Amino acid sequence: MKEIVLIKLGEIALKGLNRYAFEDALKKNIKSALYGAGYFKVSIAQSTIFVTPQSDVDMDEVCDRISRIFGIVSFCRACVCEKTMESIFGNAPSYLEDALSTASTFKVEAKRSDKKFPLKSPEICREVGGLLLEKYPHLTVDVHNPDVKVVVEVRDFGAYIHAGNLKGAGGIPVGTGGNAAILISGGIDSPVAAYMMAKRGVKLTAIHFASPPYTSERAEDKVERLLRKVCRFAGPITMLTVPFTKIQETIKDQCPEELFTIIMRRMMMKISSLIAEKYECAALITGESLGQVASQTIHAIACTDDAADMPVFRPLIGMDKEEIIQISRKIDTFDISIEPFEDCCTVFTPKHPRTRPVLKFVRYAEEDAHLYDLIEDAVENVKITELR
Ligand code: ATP
Ligand code: MG
């Protein structure tokens, strides 16, 4: 028995002239997501993408990967039949045997987009329903709330039997929303922010600031593992690790203590803007949430923004920690995020950080400390790691 995955296109179908670009991006993302899982033909017809295995594959694994690709509203795993009632009759009872033998009720739905097929939809339902009642006498028909749905789709190039659509990841295909750089820490928030922007079609590059020996190699490894989880949704990610020790030490030695954090965050923004431009990213992304900590008050964020040379997206800005945690569990980053490794943000934290920093004084402090002279060195010594 031959199986296939039918992918129903979502918001993409609405994108008018851009539609073809979106469909192409989605096809490319599907091929990339299935890399290493076997050989597949990926084709489009009738607002549906057909993923047809060309080799032996593990269909559970294939569907699991497809469930995380953005731009897919729903999909189903189906049995491929010839466009004859004999073939549909031959496959329907056995293909859904497991579900049908344990269910009490079922219903048959037919969709006939090939209007030349000799039976109309209600007739297909009646015939297939009759056959299933004969093979599984314990079943009864329930058209409103069946335990099992048996769907027969008669399309241009074949007929397909499946048990209904599964929910896809939603969103729009990664790569169609431009490129942006996610500032990633080892915490709970930034991987969630990365996921949310990838869902809106953004291709991600990741920037991580490390301050060895204050932060350890294991902290960097943790960020890498978090990003690999994000890759399952966002596709391959280039991770850029910025050496930040010298800058943090200079801030500690030369700047007023209550401004340590805000100045550090401004330096992150300046350096990230330069790196982002080099890697053709048009925006920065952070996991900040209003009022979460002293550096995330409106005043502090205004001060931080001033140092960035491009738009800064903060998809979590209005979310509670609980809501963020819920998503981090869903994308399977939570357990890694709570591993106890230090981040550069927790190195030299002031006892009383300023929650209402005044931009003018922050800038003076930065100039006095000659911090800008250290930026070039940090940008040039970035370590590159390719993740997928
Ligand atoms: P959590 O709040 O769960 O500890 P977080 O990632 O939000 O995790 P914060 O200290 O709140 O950590 O930092 C706010 C934002 O600043 C992060 O979401 C992230 O975008 C950025 N950031 C913090 N530390 C780093 C770092 N070492 N490298 C790159 N970006 C960082
Ligand atoms: Mg945070």
**Closest-lying ligand to the alpha carbon of 289?**
2
For 367, how many CA atoms within 13 A lie in the half-sphere containing its CB?
Answer: 6
- Ligand 2 midpoint to CA 71 (Å): 28
User: Residue 194 falls within a domain, yes or no?
Assistant: yes
Q: Is the model's pLDDT at 171 over the cut of 80? A: yes
Q: Is 134 in the same domain as 190? A: no
For 105, how many CA atoms within 13 A lie in the half-sphere containing its CB?
Answer: 7
How far is 336 from 195, CA to CA, in rounded Å? Answer: 15
Q: What is the arithmetic mean of pLDDT over 257-267?
A: 94
What are the tens digits of pLDDT across the range 16-30? 667 888 899 999 999
Parent domain of 142:
3-169
What are the tens digits of pLDDT across the range 176-229? 999 999 999 999 999 999 999 999 999 999 999 999 999 999 999 999 999 999
User: Residue 191 falls within a domain, yes or no?
Assistant: yes
Q: How many residues does the chain have?
A: 388
Q: Is 227 in the same domain as 322? A: yes
Q: Is 284 in the same domain as 154? A: no
Those residues with Cβ within 8 angstroms of residue 234's Cβ, 6 or more apart along the chain or in another chain: 174, 194, 195, 198, 203, 204
Q: Is 93 in the same domain as 189? A: no
Q: Is the model's pLDDT at 70 over the cut of 90? A: yes
Q: What is the pLDDT of residue 12?
A: 60
User: How many domains, the chain?
Assistant: 2
How far is 387 from 371, CA to CA, in rounded Å? Answer: 31
Mark 213-234 as b/e (b = at least 16 C-beta within 10 Å): ebbeeebbebbbebbebbbbbb
Q: Which residues line ligand 1 (CB under 6 A)?
A: 183-185, 187-190, 207-209, 268, 286-288, 293, 343-345
Q: Is 230 in the same domain as 100? A: no
- Ligand 1 midpoint to CA 325 (Å): 14
User: Residue 174 falls within a domain, yes or no?
Assistant: no
CATH code at position 165: 3.30.2130.30
User: Residue 316 falls within a domain, yes or no?
Assistant: yes
Q: Is 137 in the same domain as 231? A: no
What are the tens digits of pLDDT across the range 317-343? 999 999 999 999 999 999 999 999 888
Q: Is 218 in the same domain as 254? A: yes
Q: In degrees, to the nearest 5, what angle opens at C-alpha 328 toward C-alphas 323 and 332?
A: 150
Q: What is the pLDDT of residue 50?
A: 96
CATH code at position 224: 3.40.50.620
For residue 48, count other CB atoms closer than 10 A to its CB: 17
Average pLDDT in the chain: 94
Residue 11's pLDDT band (boundaries 50, 70, 90)?
low
Q: What is the arithmetic mean of pLDDT over 231-246?
A: 97
Residue ending a domain, choose from 169, 197, 222: 169
Q: What is the arithmetic mean of pLDDT over 133-157?
A: 95
Q: Is 139 in the same domain as 91? A: yes
Q: Is 42 in the same domain as 91? A: yes
Q: Cα dist. 73→28, 88, 256, 356, 379 in Å?
A: 17, 27, 52, 44, 40
Q: Is the model's pLDDT at 242 over the cut of 80? A: yes
Rounded (10°) angle between helices 260-278 and 359-368: 80
Q: Is 218 in the same domain as 295? A: yes
**Closest-lying ligand to the alpha carbon of 248?**
1
Give the mutation target among 345, 382, 385 for probing the ligand 1 site: most ligand atoms within 8 A of CB.
Answer: 345
Q: Is 219 in the same domain as 351? A: yes
Residue 244 and residue 344 in contact, taking contact as beta carbons nearer than 8 Å: yes
Residue 292's pLDDT band (boundaries 50, 70, 90)?
confident
Record the pTM: 0.92
